[in-house]
Structure 1
């Protein structure tokens, strides 16, 4: 019988063909897996409009891993560039969200990121204050709504280094023995709302300057004449020395407003703000 030559492919068994297909599919999967980390990093960068490598850390530490979305309705206004990183004016307006349960101010690249935590209660979710920044950084505000979601807005600021770790020009020249805790402020009517400006004299030491321990205001509470709370703030060292707050009441509160504050050394301060024309 004459031998018959078969094409090379005919000599492959079904198992061999399946093995070849598996090898091709595995090679494709391996290539896709190699690309996944790069794709994930690109997605993370695209998610944060400020493209900060610290955003995930901020969400995990400052926002405690709770749900967060970037939202243009949380408006953060500050200079694009500053020469003094120890006093950067920041204003935040989250009133477009409606009811806000909590409001935060923080800077990604600060050694102490969180500057302020505010429960607006009867105030508008709006404030202005000056803070320290240690270098160029995103400065963000996060507003938590009733559903537990943080709505985040922010802006980049270009600043010189050391705003949190250098002594202020007035630290050793101010008579803190007589000025510490002194309150200055006023309340006035603006349209249908009351506007509040309040300064508290305090060095707000971060503890990052050599031979100067951490010493800062840690609470601030506003109440109406009957003692009913209007707002509660938890304050942190990144706020600028002698912090000046601008706040806004949703509706006028009768009588003089009461102010109480405390600092990290257990000192307590009290005052009243009268409405002025």
Structure 2
């Protein structure tokens, strides 16, 4: 009897690592740590119902409280996951939740940009790995109402005929990487303001000095006016960088940024 009990105990101990590994890889629906009533809608409409897990390795940083919902700075770092196929940024309670889709390619899966938020909301980043699983991180922000539905202070005071589409960029070396900061002048109209149709940047591509693609982004209206992006590139990326962008009216904008010596 004692021998049978020891055999059973050893069998159970042998199974424990396998069970623990299976739990760590589970993609079953999880309790949302931000307790958003919109999470299931986000998984269905933004992540297209694909498997998703909440993961602290997807780090997102933004202010806990803002006074201007039209420009909320957000930084995302999913590099702890290793290779990332795609990175999304979205806000649960925005009328237009999705802000961008980032295909990092040769770049690190990190990004900084400012978005609009329409009210207090969870802001989330979702990183898709090669196994098709979305790893989701997020943070709550408290914001006044109307960030997506109010005209920006500069909308009627800026001569967009002269400024629209201008690109400003800067490269510098830091922590063994090249960092790129890039601003594209554009009103980024959401279409939610009366008598102002939707008009926004919808794509951005980075290429190296040989013309090879480095990264691509699909951009949406909830990005802040004249969005300012920060990217991280490998230190050996060959310049000059070639930037091309387009908007929802079919306009094309291009620029070249001289590489580091």
TM-score clears 0.5: yes
- Which residues in structure 2 correspond to 1:2-151 (within 5 Å)? 47-151=31-135
Indicate if the aligned counterparts of 1:262 and 1:268 stay in contact, CA closer than 8 A: yes
Distance of 2:234 and 2:45 partners within structure 1: 31
Match of 2:140 among 156, 161, 169: 156
The answer for unaligned runs of 5 or more in structure 1 is 1-43
Instruction: Write out per-residue CA displacement over residues 128-175 of structure 1, whole angstroms, 9 at most, x where no aligned residue.
Output: 000000000000000000000000000000000000000000001111
Distance of 2:122 and 2:236 partners within structure 1: 34
Instruction: Give 2:190's aligned residue.
Output: 206
Match of 1:237 among 191, 202, 221: 221
Distance of 2:194 and 2:258 partners within structure 1: 40
Q: What value does the CA root-mean-square deviation take over the aligned residues?
A: 1.3
Shift of 1:181: 0.2
- Which residues in structure 2 correspond to 1:128-277 (within 5 Å)? 128-275=112-259
Distance of 1:116 and 1:78 partners within structure 2: 16
Judge which range, 65-74 or 244-253, deviates more. Answer: 244-253
Distance of 1:125 and 1:48 partners within structure 2: 23
SS in structure 1 at match of 2:162: helix
Structure number with greater Rg is 1
Distance of 1:47 and 1:204 partners within structure 2: 34
Indicate if the aligned counterparts of 1:186 and 1:276 stay in contact, CA closer than 8 A: no
The answer for unaligned runs of 5 or more in structure 2 is 1-28
SS in structure 2 at match of 1:154: strand
Indicate if the aligned counterparts of 1:67 and 1:150 stay in contact, CA closer than 8 A: yes
Instruction: Write out per-residue CA displacement over residues 90-117 of structure 1, whole angstroms, 9 at most, x where no aligned residue.
Output: 0000000000000000000000000010
